Chains A and B, each alone.
Chain A
Amino acid sequence: MDLLGNLALGFATSLSLHNLLYCFMGALFGTLIGVLPGLGPVATIAMLLPITFGLEPVSALIMLAGIYYGAQYGGSTTAILINLPGESTSVVTAIDGYQMARQGRAGTALATAALGSFFAGTVATVFIALFAPPLAELALEFGPPEYFALMVLGLIASITLASGSLLKALAMILLGLLLGLVGRDIYTTEARFTFDLQNLSDGLQFVALAMGIYGIGEIVRNLEAPETRSVAVTKVGGLMLSWADIRRIAAPVLRGTGLGAVLGILPGGGALLSSFASYALEKKLSRHPQEFGKGAIEGVAGPESANNAGAQSSFIPMLTLGIPSNPVMALMVGALIIHGITPGPAFVAEKPELFWGLIASMWVGNLMLVVLNLPLIGIWVRLLTVPYNYLFPAIIVFSAIGVYSVNNSTADVLVMAGMGVFGYILYKLDCEPAPLLLGFILGPMLEENLRRSMLLFRGDAGQFFTRPLTATLLGIALVSLVVVLLPTISRKREVVFKE
């Protein structure tokens, strides 16, 4: 009954007229930016973050959630219509979705994606409502050592589940942690790595870092090849699903939702892993696997549900432990901190209207996507025809103004420029930037918890391995690191990610 009461509180918050409006605007803007080619959810959220600053925290959070879902949905739209996944999570959708579009069934694919996502979103909302509060209560018992161990495990797990070179990912985490330490040390008040610049004494601005790497760096990368994009689809076709379609997608949607909800909780999991896993599963279970890759509707329904469920359940570790499991969640933490909220176990108990309002608005945001964005698909298609050559200067200008407006600081704009160059170099050197972003967010928290633990242990680091919980957590981290570093496994891992 408690759950219902809490959900009622949440819906009362999120269904108030102005919050509904913010949710709608978030979903709309999120889709608007997310549908632009080459802009994934991270860049979209970072770019739109500044418009939420003027709002009170609840509304801002609700709007951000709307932006997030909109951006995800926008990514799927470009994947289906022009075979250009905005982000890695919709890579899988592009495989069969684009084939469906070429067969004139773009509308069906889009509707499948939207409805599958909506269903997954609904289930995942309930999932969060059920599991987040008990987890938060459990986490309230955690001391600094447990937190330290959890964060280490989270960081390690996030790279073992990702693709690419593990050693480089590990180095990127460390570099991110170091960059996160820039600024005044809260314990000794010494200025660290600031080059005596006043602007750096509060640390590097997170939005500037994210926008530089994911926005500016990405744009330069897109400009490497001259524009040859052709929008194959001009007609979307009917949005209605036939009964036969619904019967075909029912089981994949259910399986995808379950898979996504569970995998999303894992650090580094979230939407990406879920969608890949779901695609592999559907292909295996299908009675006609030869259709996959040639426009199988199951290949859209499963992964799209899974990635939405995963995207949503990855809120669980972020909200209850304050530990982001992927770059989008890292951005969310950054946004919350800007609004003066530190996510963590106390969040649920101290700010119930915020917590439950956010959960309810997740569902509302998903609903928005179905009832508003599906009919608006014509506009999104029109947007896709705007040439990138005219689009990216606007993106650059808006990003620059956005980053400036966070703190009214032109120094942040310069940081963004520097990070843009850095992001492009990272791309050239084949270094995945996501671990850096996670490390950046966790750097200060990791240090603080380490310091407090060592104080508690009187300087004996060995005690990390004598407390049962921390020993287990760190043990898992160590074992997973060693296992993935073993040559035979790392070769197998490559095969899995290539599939």
Chain B
Amino acid sequence: MNGKSPHGKFPHGKSPLQALCSQDALSGLMFMAFAGGFAFLARDLSLGTAVRMGAAYFPLLLSGLLGLIGLVIFVRALIGEGGRVAPFAWRALVLVVAAVLVFGFGLSGLGLAPSVAIAAFLATLASGQVGWRGALALSALLVVFTWAVFILGLGLAIPTIGTWLS
């Protein structure tokens, strides 16, 4: 446990980079980064005293704890087995998130129908198993359906076609 394993610095025959990219090591780093970020953002807030806690008191307490636990997780991952990170599904991630972002940024300007159409089209392509024709058909269907349910049915106050297009 003290780093003197026969493989050199890191047990299990891992290279330093592998050890650094394990699930636990990255989690530890992530937690430490969040702790640091919150602590940094709390720097301008009032600290107060233990009796009258200011806006920064509790967050700093939590950040401190989080940073500490993050460090323990990180160190333990370097010493022991941290778990391998499986590859990311980039296509799915990018397209799904892009769909939501387009919807979020476009809704007020484009209106419901175009936003739904674009979002649904992008999302459908995310699986990589449906072609663009299928995606077009599905987004047309969803445009009609969401219009009927949310505008006709529930009377949601969103323009069907937004100001950017008219």
Contact = CB atoms under 8 A, between A and B. Distances in A.
Contacts of B161: none
B148 interface: no
B105 A450 contact: no
A81 to B, nearest CB: 22
- Size band of the interface chain B makes with A: 35 or more
B20 interface: no
B78 interface: no
Nearest to A227: B129
Interface stretch (A137-145, A268-276, A293-301, A406-414): A406-414
A394 B142 contact: yes
Which residue among A174, A190, A393, A458 has the maximum number of chain B CB atoms within 10 Å of its CB? A393
A413 B27 CA distance: 26
Interface in A413-427: 413-414, 416-417, 420-421, 424-425
B96 A178 contact: no
Contacts of A170: 69
A400 interface: yes
B119 A397 contact: yes
Contact of A401 (B127, B130, B150): B150
Given A170-B69, A193-B41, A390 B119 contact: no
B26 A429 contact: yes
B51 A454 contact: yes
A181 B59 contact: yes
B97 A417 contact: yes
A224 B89 contact: yes
A54 B156 CA distance: 11
A220 B89 contact: yes
Interface in A423-473: 424-425, 428-431, 446-447, 450-451, 454-455, 458-459, 461
A485 B139 CA distance: 50
A207 to B, nearest CB: 14
B49 A459 contact: yes
A410 B38 contact: no
User: Which 6 A-B residue pairings sit nearest by Cβ, starting from the closest?
Assistant: A413-B104, A223-B92, A459-B51, A393-B123, A459-B50, A417-B100
16 contacts: A178-B59, A178-B66, A187-B53, A188-B54, A221-B89, A223-B126, A390-B130, A393-B138, A401-B150, A401-B156, A404-B158, A410-B108, A429-B27, A429-B30, A429-B85, A451-B58
Interface of B: 23-24, 26-27, 30-31, 34, 38, 41-42, 45-46, 48-56, 58-59, 62-63, 65-66, 69-70, 72-73, 76, 83, 85-86, 88-89, 92-93, 96-97, 99-101, 103-105, 107-108, 112, 116, 119-120, 123-124, 126-130, 134-135, 138-139, 142, 145-146, 150, 154, 156-158
